[in-house]
């Protein structure tokens, strides 16, 4: 290379360096002038080191450093993609390209500023701001590691352990219990006696006390399978579903009203309740039970499925709908996401024992559930139609339950309805035709009346216009007053809402106003008032202290607004010349009065004396409308008479009226006037409310026919409805940062929890919500579903679960006391086709279940919480069991499935007051559950909050319960019924034995008998006990621990 070439290359390199430096300097200058000032003014308040120090950093995004503005915020989206504005989240936010990401949030930047940011990004976003962000030390979720957590591992079929005591166990599950007892050097409690066992089993399975006969039969049955027969009998009882269905309704947060802000009646929720009861009675496989509640409407229709079964599948989805909702939430999108959150939180706890709701705003703090997984699940329910709208007050979705039988019945009644409607229509048509034909025979009179009325209105408008134009001729005979210009009184002058410069007289209460009216000439004047009134507000009119009219301003005009103002004649008054005092007196607020007009009464008596008694107002009004139309229609046959309206001062003579009557009398069929009179839309068309013009005979006949139609309609069976869901618009959600739908992050395609993989289940397709796939994911090889349910079954038998936190199988939940036993039960559950009844048989046949509740002080010292199950837990009757036992003991219970007992219409507001059905005698499971108004019996005995899942009820013992048993009406009634059976029986010992047996299902021992007889006699100081004495004894026994507790 020559020296010249080298010099040229050096010059070129220098130029390139200089050019690059100039470009860089230009970019930095552009940033300093155009970008940095905007960031400081509009962004640093929420996105800078200062906001971070104050704990107010939004979206985990700082815009005060080059490193951070080119990085990712909480959304996961890149803020500045160098050279590409459309891929830059910051540019999209300030451009308002995404309706869910608007920055600044309160007002959009000017277009020129947005264009500056676009140019800056295209330049490569030159930025001189150095500095480093602190490294985020937070750990991402290790899904593989999390799968080692005990509840996320697949249950296995563990081998039952070997034990020293080889004769105690009755089922393999007993070996798991005994193994831990022996390792702790403890022994199980002795076996319960047969009377205790049958009472325990009967309450456990059907929630009612055993009958005296059932107790005797079991005590006398010496066969080895005697208890097994008891269990089978109870499982076959329809009352089994009522008891165990109620357990599930606690989990499903079932209620018959919404609660919260708008306590509306869930009138059709009972169908879900009854579905649950039937499902337990049928021993519906639990996996099917789960799938139906999440996606019953989407499940493949089995062969030979009945309409009832098809309805049941859809009713089952009421599980997703019966939760409490903020129906009056002003923000519809927030309401929707809150409802979805409630659905996720409930089904997460109910089916998986997972607190999914904790991942709505941030990654779950303890369990491997990132917000992305939460919104992947939320997308499934965003794509589900739960609500028909999200307005105030929002409406939940309901489906119709049609059947071929119902449709046939409806069709039969519809045929009768249509026939009766035809009869009714024919009668109305005939009667209406008579009315119209009669009106046509007086067509001329109707036209003349309309003409006279129109002339009066025209005269008013003409007079007002001339007065406003200061016409001396008009002013000398007529007076126009602005109503707000009253001289005295408590009325209000308003000049708002009626147009510029227009005032009115209004008031807010009883009103009186006075006007000093100067009348130019003595004589008769017609007083007109111009006002608008949606409601009638009559007043009194005094002239010169004399009551002239006690019913003025009585008319209504439709609204309070100026477009409905009309002139109304208030009367013809004899007035003196000069000053006259007019006083208006209202006991209510006034109409909205604009003007008062005094017109000198016409000397032409012809118009006033025209006979109109035989005319109907409605036809006259239709003629008036035709006269208005004739003003614009040059071809109208009424055009030639318009002059009489346009010149209202010109009097109508007798000859004019006679000419009109002659003209109408001689019209022929093809004349334009004849056609107008007979047109269907003409001045004598059938009025809208023609029935009001019928003769009394016709009105009576019409009422009779309408009554017959109403009777037929009432016979038409209504189509039942159910709270349910259906498929909605399929869509994926973005992660809502901090749970705020207005601040969104990365897309979270619909899917499931990544901590629980199931290769057999596909992710939701783009064509449907994904509920069906999600339901399958829950019930196919999901390690949680079977474990959670068998734990619930164990809990509902023993009072405590193997996992003592039945709704939380996560890290904050308690660990299982017997993990191998839990897995063994889960494995058995699935192997037995998810049969809940089979689980009852296994558990209730066990030696563990047959243990007594006998207290052993030494064992209690080692295991006070009975974690090792060394004895059976004694429990108090639950709320429903208390009430049902009182009813059945008092022989007043009404058994059998019930529909909705509430006497409310759907979506009607529910009263918090006492409801009549609470004092009825149906089983408690069928009583409506009113959120924020729970029945006092249920409240007293720990029913719980029906707005949230109740996996385990509290069980308290307190003074309030003792007072309830002493004073409540239901206890008093039961005691009285029992007392009446014993009262008057000369065999006091026999009556006492019977009373004990009726209440405690056993006869008293000798000591108890003597004590009872002593009590009876001392109560009334008499040898023969009174009714009150028997009642008191019955109430004592009903309040006893033996009645109230199950051993």
Confidence grade of residue 10 (pLDDT, cut at 50, 70, 90): very low
Confidence of residue 640 (pLDDT cuts 50, 70, 90): confident
Are 449 and 606 in contact by the 8 Å Cβ rule? The answer is no
Q: Do 370 and 312 share a structural domain?
A: yes
pLDDT of residue 375 exceeding 90:
yes
Residue where a domain terminates, one of 805, 834, 850: 805
Query: Is 579 in the same domain as 551?
Result: yes
- pLDDT exceeds cutoff 70 at 425: yes
Range scoring the smallest mean pLDDT among 572-581, 724-733, 868-877? 572-581
Per-residue pLDDT at 501: 67
Residue 209 belongs to some domain of the structure: no
Is 870 within a domain?
A: no
Q: How far apart are CA 297 and CA 291, in angstroms?
A: 10
Residue 144 lies in a domain: no
Q: Are the beta carbons of 226 and 215 closer than 8 angstroms?
A: no
Average pLDDT over residues 381-397: 96
Q: Is 623 left (phi over 0), alpha (psi -120 to 50) or beta?
A: alpha
For residue 528, give both structure tokens: 């007109």
Task: Report, as an integer, the average pLDDT of 651-677.
Answer: 85
- Binned at pLDDT 50, 70 and 90, residue 98 comes out as confident
Token digits for 129? Answer: 């701001």
Least confident of 303-307, 366-370, 612-616, 750-754: 612-616
Distance between alpha carbon 419 and the CA centroid of its chain, in Å? Answer: 39
In a domain, 1013, yes or no: yes
Task: Give mean pLDDT, residues 184-212.
Answer: 97
Looking at the fold, whether 247 and 336 belong to one and the same domain comes out as: yes
Report whether pLDDT(554) > 70.
yes
Using pLDDT thresholds of 50, 70 and 90, give the confidence band for residue 140: confident
On whether residue 799 sits in a domain, the answer given is: yes
d(CA 833, CA 826): 11
- Given a cut of 50, is residue 319 above it in pLDDT? yes
Confidence class for position 28, pLDDT limits 50, 70, 90: confident
pTM: 0.77
> Is the domain of 409 the same as that of 353?
no
pLDDT category, 53, cuts 50, 70, 90?
Answer: confident
pLDDT at 15 exceeding the cut of 60:
no
* pLDDT at position 12 over 80: no
The C-alpha atoms of residue 1041 and residue 1038 are separated, in whole angstroms, by 8
Q: Determine what percent of the chain is predicted with pLDDT higher than 90.
A: 63
% of residues, the chain, pLDDT over 70: 95
Average pLDDT in the chain: 90
Look up the domain containing 466 and give its range.
442-472+616-687
What is the pLDDT averaged over residues 426-444?
90
Residue 491 · residue 507 · CB < 8 Å: yes
Contacts (Cβ under 8 Å, ≥6 apart) of 102: 93, 96, 108, 742
Widest distance between CA atoms in the chain: 144
Do 773 and 761 form a contact (C-beta atoms < 8 A)? yes
Range with lowest mean pLDDT among 319-328, 994-1003, 1020-1029: 1020-1029
Confidence of residue 603 (pLDDT cuts 50, 70, 90): low
pLDDT above 70: residue 2 = no
The first and second tokens of residue 727, run together, are 């498929």
Q: Are residues 600 and 679 in the same domain?
A: no
* Residue 163 within a domain: no
pLDDT in tens, 932-985: 888 888 889 999 899 999 999 999 999 999 999 999 999 999 999 999 998 888
pLDDT band at 1043; cut points 50, 70, 90: very high
Tell me: the pLDDT tens digits for 806-834?
999 999 999 999 999 999 999 999 999 99
Residue 104 burial (C-beta neighbours within 10 Å; 0-12, 13-18, 19+)? middle
- Determine the length of the chain: 1047
DSSP 992-1017: HHHHHHHHHSS---HHHHHHHHHHHH
User: How many angstroms separate the CA atoms of 119 and 110, rounded?
Assistant: 15
The predicted-structure confidence for 54-77, as pLDDT tens digits, reads as follows: 888 888 888 888 888 888 877 778
CATH number of domain containing 593: 2.60.120.260
Domain end position, chosen among 773, 805, 837: 805
pLDDT of amino acid 16? 40
Q: Is 90 exceeded by the pLDDT of residue 911?
A: no
* Residue 600 and residue 663 in one domain: no
Q: Do 681 and 589 fall within a single domain?
A: no
pLDDT tens digits, 219-248: 999 999 999 999 999 999 999 999 999 999
Cis status, amide bond into 393, omega within 30 of 0: yes
The reply to whether 389 and 413 lie within a common domain is no
Helix (H), strand (E) counts: the chain: 40, 19
pLDDT at 426 over 50: yes
- Number of independent structural domains in the chain: 6
Same-domain check for residues 513 and 638: no
Domain shared by 394 and 408, yes or no: no
Question: Looking at residue 129, what is its pLDDT?
Answer: 87
Q: What is the pLDDT of residue 929?
A: 94
Q: Are residues 342 and 392 in the same domain?
A: yes
Q: Are strands 523-532 and 492-494 parallel, antiparallel or unpaired?
A: unpaired
Does any domain span residue 168? Answer: no
pLDDT of the residue at 798: 97
pLDDT confidence bin for 659, thresholds 50/70/90? confident
CA distances from 811 to 143, 791, 820 (A): 14, 17, 18
Mean pLDDT, residues 182-207 taken together: 97
Picking from 805, 835, 851, the residue at the C-terminal end of a domain is: 805
Q: Are residues 755 and 649 in the same domain?
A: no
> What gap in Å lies between CA 185 and CA 782, rounded to an integer?
36
Domain membership flag for residue 205: no
The pLDDT of 124-149, averaged and rounded, is: 77
């Amino acid at each position: 290379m020559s020296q010249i070439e080298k010099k040229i290359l050096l010059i070129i390199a220098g130029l390139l360096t200089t050019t690059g430096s100039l470009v860089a300097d230009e970019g930095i200058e552009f940033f300093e002038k155009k970008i940095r000032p905007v960031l400081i003014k509009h962004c640093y308040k929420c996105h800078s080191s200062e906001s971070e120090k104050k704990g107010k950093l939004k979206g985990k995004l700082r815009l005060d450093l080059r490193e951070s503005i080119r990085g990712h915020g909480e959304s996961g989206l890149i803020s500045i993609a160098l050279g590409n504005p459309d891929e830059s989240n910051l540019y999209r936010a300030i451009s308002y390209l995404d309706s869910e990401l608007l920055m600044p949030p309160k007002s959009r930047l000017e277009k020129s500023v947005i264009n500056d940011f676009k140019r800056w990004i295209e330049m490569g976003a030159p930025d001189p701001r150095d500095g480093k962000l602190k490294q985020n030390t937070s750990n991402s979720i290790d899904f593989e590691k999390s799968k080692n957590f005990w509840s996320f591992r697949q249950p296995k079929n563990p081998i039952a352990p070997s034990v020293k005591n080889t004769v105690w166990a009755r089922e393999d599950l007993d070996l798991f219990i005994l193994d831990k007892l022996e390792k702790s050097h403890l022994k199980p409690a002795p076996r319960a006696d047969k009377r205790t066992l049958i009472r325990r089993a009967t309450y456990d399975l059907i929630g009612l006390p055993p009958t005296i006969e059932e107790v005797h039969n079991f005590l006398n049955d010496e066969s080895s399978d005697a208890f097994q027969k008891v269990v089978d009998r109870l499982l076959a009882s329809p009352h089994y579903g009522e008891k165990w269905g109620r357990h599930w309704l606690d989990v499903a947060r079932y209620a018959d009203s919404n609660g919260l802000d708008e306590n509306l009646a869930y009138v059709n929720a009972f169908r879900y309740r009854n579905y649950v009861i039937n499902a337990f009675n049928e021993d519906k496989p639990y996996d099917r039970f789960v799938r139906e509640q999440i996606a019953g409407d989407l499940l493949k229709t089995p062969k030979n499925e009945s309409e009832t079964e098809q309805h049941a599948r859809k009713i089952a989805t009421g599980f997703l709908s019966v939760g409490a909702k903020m129906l009056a939430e002003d923000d519809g999108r927030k309401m929707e996401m809150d409802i979805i959150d409630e659905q996720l939180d409930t089904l997460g706890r109910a089916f998986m024992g997972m607190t999914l709701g904790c991942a709505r705003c941030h990654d779950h703090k303890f369990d491997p559930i990132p917000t992305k997984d939460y919104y992947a699940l939320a997308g499934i329910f965003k794509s589900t139609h739960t609500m028909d709208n999200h307005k105030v007050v929002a409406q939940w979705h309901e489906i119709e339950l049609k059947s071929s039988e119902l449709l046939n019945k409806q069709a039969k009644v519809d045929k009768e309805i249509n026939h009766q409607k035809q009869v009714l229509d024919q009668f109305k048509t005939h009667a209406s035709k008579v009315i119209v034909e009669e009106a046509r025979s007086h067509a001329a009179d109707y036209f003349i009346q309309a003409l006279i009325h129109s002339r009066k209105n025209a005269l008013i408008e003409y007079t007002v216009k001339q007065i406003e134009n200061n016409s001396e001729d008009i002013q000398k005979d007529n007076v126009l007053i602005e109503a707000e210009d009253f001289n005295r009184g408590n009325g209000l002058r308003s000049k708002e809402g009626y147009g510029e410069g227009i005032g009115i007289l209004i008031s807010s209460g009883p009103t009186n106003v006075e006007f000093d009216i100067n009348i130019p000439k003595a004589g008769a004047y017609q007083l007109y008032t111009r006002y608008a009134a949606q409601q009638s507000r009559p007043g009194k009119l005094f002239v010169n202290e004399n009551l002239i009219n006690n019913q003025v301003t009585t008319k209504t005009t439709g609204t309070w607004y100026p477009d409905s103002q009309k002139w109304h004649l208030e009367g013809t008054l004899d007035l003196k010349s000069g000053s006259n005092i007019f006083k208006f007196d209202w006991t209510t607020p006034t109409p909205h009065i604009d003007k008062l007009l005094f017109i000198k009464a016409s000397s032409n008596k012809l118009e006033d004396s025209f006979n109109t008694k035989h005319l109907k107002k409605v036809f006259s009004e239709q003629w008036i409308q035709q006269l208005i139309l004739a003003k614009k229609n040059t071809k109208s046959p009424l055009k030639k008479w318009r002059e009489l309206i346009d010149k209202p001062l010109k009097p109508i003579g007798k000859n004019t009226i006679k000419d009109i009557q002659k003209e109408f009398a001689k019209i022929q069929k093809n004349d334009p006037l004849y056609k107008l009179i007979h047109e269907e839309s003409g001045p004598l068309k059938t009025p809208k409310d023609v029935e009001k013009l019928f003769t009394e005979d016709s009105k009576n006949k019409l009422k009779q026919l309408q009554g017959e139609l109403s009777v037929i309609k009432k016979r038409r069976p209504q189509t039942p409805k159910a709270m349910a869901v259906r498929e909605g618009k399929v869509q994926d959600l973005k992660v809502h940062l901090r749970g705020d739908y207005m601040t969104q992050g990365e897309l979270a395609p619909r899917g499931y929890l990544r901590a629980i993989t199931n290769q057999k289940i596909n992710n939701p397709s783009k064509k449907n919500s994904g509920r069906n796939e999600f339901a399958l994911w829950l019930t196919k090889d999901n390690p949680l579903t079977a474990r959670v349910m068998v734990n619930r079954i164990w809990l509902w038998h023993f009072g405590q679960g193997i996992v003592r936190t039945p709704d939380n199988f996560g890290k904050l939940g308690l660990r299982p006391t017997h993990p191998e036993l839990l897995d063994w039960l889960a494995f058995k559950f699935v192997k037995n086709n998810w049969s809940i009844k089979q689980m009852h048989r296994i558990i209730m046949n066990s030696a563990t279940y047959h243990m007594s509740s006998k207290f052993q002080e030494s064992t209690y010292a080692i295991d006070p919480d009975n974690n090792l199950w060394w004895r059976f837990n004694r429990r108090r009757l639950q709320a429903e069991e208390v009430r049902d036992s009182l009813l059945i003991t008092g022989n007043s219970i009404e058994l059998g499935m019930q529909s909705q007992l509430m006497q409310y219409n759907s979506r009607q507001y529910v009263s918090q007051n006492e409801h009549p059905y609470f004092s009825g005698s149906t089983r408690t499971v069928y009583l409506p559950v009113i959120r924020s108004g729970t029945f006092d019996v249920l409240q007293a005995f720990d029913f719980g909050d029906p707005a949230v899942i109740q996996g385990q009820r509290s069980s308290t013992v307190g003074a309030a319960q003792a007072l309830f048993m002493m004073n409540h009406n239901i206890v008093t009634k039961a005691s009285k019924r029992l007392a009446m059976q014993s009262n008057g029986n000369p065999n006091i010992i026999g009556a006492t034995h019977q009373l004990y047996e009726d209440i405690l299902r056993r006869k008293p021992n000798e000591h108890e008998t003597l004590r009872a007889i002593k009590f009876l006699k001392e109560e009334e100081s008499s040898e023969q006990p009174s009714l009150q004495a028997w009642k008191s004894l019955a109430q004592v026994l009903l309040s006893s621990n033996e009645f109230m507790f199950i051993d």
